[in-house]
Structure 1
């Protein structure tokens, strides 16, 4: 159920950006927190060619995690810090690394699985 969406620049990473490795590392880091089950985590990445950060073109990687509500602020901080640490390990030259944890409304969230 948790969704991890990676938004990143196509440049500014010192030639080190590997989306597949980053997706796997974030999946593993999120699962290791114990706040979500590995088999429930969905990860995807979107690259940006056009962007500005404070009117500059510096490399960035931003992660948004959407989870059903119910986790404590401390649990959310643990997830955020674990993901940021994984990003820092894989993207040491990237200027801006950020993580945002979002609560999903369990009543309004709907999905369909075709089995």
Structure 2
């Protein structure tokens, strides 16, 4: 835990490779000290079709999905750290956003099937 889901406008791939966004988000999560590095899961999805404010402006949106147990302050600091990490890239005309989503611990299930 957590699951970090990065959605970004496909037109950004030429400016910032998806792996770079993922590494930035991962580092922010590690630096938060809320998670063990081995528990951080990341995925990135390019959006081919998008409209932001009526035009096709570039965007990156990160959802950090995690189980309950962190304070509002911890979640706020994590959100700010991820946003700061995204802001370090020299991309112009882009909307950056982050949301922390608390998963329902009673209904979340996980099963790892070994090789």
- Aligned partner of 2:64 in structure 1 is 65
- Aligned partner of 2:110 in structure 1 is 111
**Residues in 2 aligned to 1:89 and 1:100: alpha-carbon distance in whole angstroms:** 18
- Aligned partner of 2:37 in structure 1 is 38
**Residues in 2 aligned to 1:57 and 1:92: alpha-carbon distance in whole angstroms:** 15
* Residues 61, 94 of structure 1: 8 Å contact kept: no
- Aligned partner of 2:75 in structure 1 is 76
Q: Deviations over 1:5-25 (max 9, x none)?
A: 0000011x4942210111112
Is residue 2 from structure 1 mapped to residue 2 from structure 2 by the alignment?
A: yes
Corresponding pairs, count: 114
> 1:26/1:91 Cα in 2 relative to 1: closer, same or farther (>3 Å)?
farther
**Residues in 2 aligned to 1:84 and 1:62: alpha-carbon distance in whole angstroms:** 9
Structure 2: runs of 5+ lacking an equivalent: none
Runs of 4 or more, structure 1, over 6 Å off, are none
Q: Deviations over 1:24-58 (max 9, x none)?
A: 12111111111111110000000011000121110
> 1:91/1:105 Cα in 2 relative to 1: closer, same or farther (>3 Å)?
farther
SS state at 1:54 partner = coil
Q: Deviations over 1:80-111 (max 9, x none)?
A: 01100110112532420000000011110001
TM-score, scaled to structure 1: 0.93
Structure 1: runs of 5+ lacking an equivalent: none
